[in-house]
Amino acid sequence: MSSNTRNTATLRSQSGFWRRAPAFTPTEVDFAFSNDMLDAFDEPATPLPFKDQTDMDVSNPTTEPPQSISPNTADPKDLSTQPEHRESIDPGDSAEVNSIGSPASPGKDPLMQKYHAVLSAANIDLEQLQKLSWKGIPAECRGTSWRLLMGYLPLNASRRELTVQRKRKEYDDWVGQTFSRGEDSLDRTLWHQIRIDVPRTTPGSPIFQSQRIQRSLERVLYCWAARHPASGYVQGINDLLTPFYYVFIEQHLPQISQYASATNTDSNASALEALLGSLDDKTVSAIEADSFWCLTKLLDGIQDNYTHAQPGIQRQIVKLKELVARIDGPLAAHLDSEGVEFIQFAFRWCNCLLMREMNLASTIRMWDTYLAEPNGFSDFHTYVCAAFLLKWSAELRKLDFQKIMMFLQSPPTESWGVKDVELLLSEAYMYKCLYHNSPSHYSTGNSSGRR
């Protein structure tokens, strides 16, 4: 029995994710990804012209998602000296809430006009917002859009201010109760781990090296872990907090984008601290509370990734291995022959959602689409991981075990921009269209893979 056949048999026994179907090999289709595909993101969305793989014109894969998408500052030691930790948030006079209720003027930009029309409605059309967001959200609209897509903000405009006021006050009360007696009252093991991990969070962005921001992140992570004892804090959750925090800061300080991936020089650090210092405590409290609730919503959807033995990640890795074997048999066979196990490199990809493989701007653009996809942070992320791995197929097939692992631990994505991420997303969406609902067709010699 050949190595590839043994690999196939093992995969079939590991999971029922794929069921039997007619064979499909990418050699039968000419998938030429170019700027033409990226240009399709600017075209109006049209309903998908197929219900399953057999009805699909695979020579022209769509880059649009389906029309119907089911949504499913002080150090803690000093907190005891602060009255009630922080004053209650009144959304009526909060700039953050005003920005939620009153979208920025759209000007003459057609895309901004579309967002303004959707976000200004008395009742948000969630399907339309998802459709727009899949192709990327303008920075001016991202904070409000993310809150809505996460389910933190109500779709009904009349309920938003009271909801935000209640949720922010609830979080503030938790922080006050948790830290009112100082650091000695905290779970020392948990607090120590969080204090170690936060300075390592998003090291490529000097924004998260700010002491004020780090203290805020620590409070969010500790409060979340204390209220989710079934999973508790797991390394990697700190990474998932930063996109929310950055997006909500940028809503108040648009100029902060120049520091997202800036070199952390003394002059940059001073200018950044001055910029962050312009945020008053009330605004930082609102950003912190909103980040907490959005992180909670995110982790509720992928909770299995962070419970004991992390079964959600284990399932994703099995699916990823099966998917790569179907699409690129030669690559799967080479990894198997070199003794490379998918868990050795893909665990971090699933645990941190590829955040450590990409810069912050790329991650945020990717999350625009994840938030618009059903199960975007779990099911769709698996297809993104597959597309990410297959992107380096030609290089990987020339390497031995040690060089493969070194390559995958530090892939060459330093210069990636939005277009690179959009190409990755379009490839992942194509694989989803082709394989997500198609049964497995493992049989010897039936899947030749990519050439």
Q: Give me the amino acid identity at 31.
A: F
Residue 55: predicted pLDDT = 38
Query: Of 342, 348, 393, whose CA–CA distance to 14 is shortest?
Result: 342
**SS3 of residue 348 by DSSP:** helix
pLDDT at 166: 97
- 213, 300, 222, 293: which is closest to 250 by C-alpha? 213
The predicted structure's pLDDT at residue 103: 58
pLDDT of residue 100: 55
- CA angle at 377 for the pair 419 and 331, rounded to the nearest 5°: 65
Identify the pLDDT of residue 367. Answer: 98
> What pLDDT does 259 receive?
82
Longest dimension (CA), the chain: 72
Amino acid at 370: Y
| DSSP of 203-233 | TT-GGGG-HHHHHHHHHHHHHHHHT-TTT--
**Degrees, nearest 5: CA angle 26-28-29:** 70
Dist CA 413 CA 424 (whole Å): 12
Q: What is the pLDDT of residue 270?
A: 84
- pLDDT confidence of residue 150: 97
Residues of the chain with pLDDT under 50: 1-99, 101, 441-448, 451
**Residue 108, pLDDT score:** 77
pLDDT of amino acid 20: 28
Instruction: Please list, in sequence order, all residues whose beta carbon lies within 8 angstroms of the beta carbon of residue 114, skipping any fewer than 6 positions away.
Output: 132
pLDDT of residue 141: 96
What is the model's pLDDT at position 269?
Answer: 78
pLDDT at 285: 97
Please give the model's pTM, rounded to 2 decimal places: 0.77
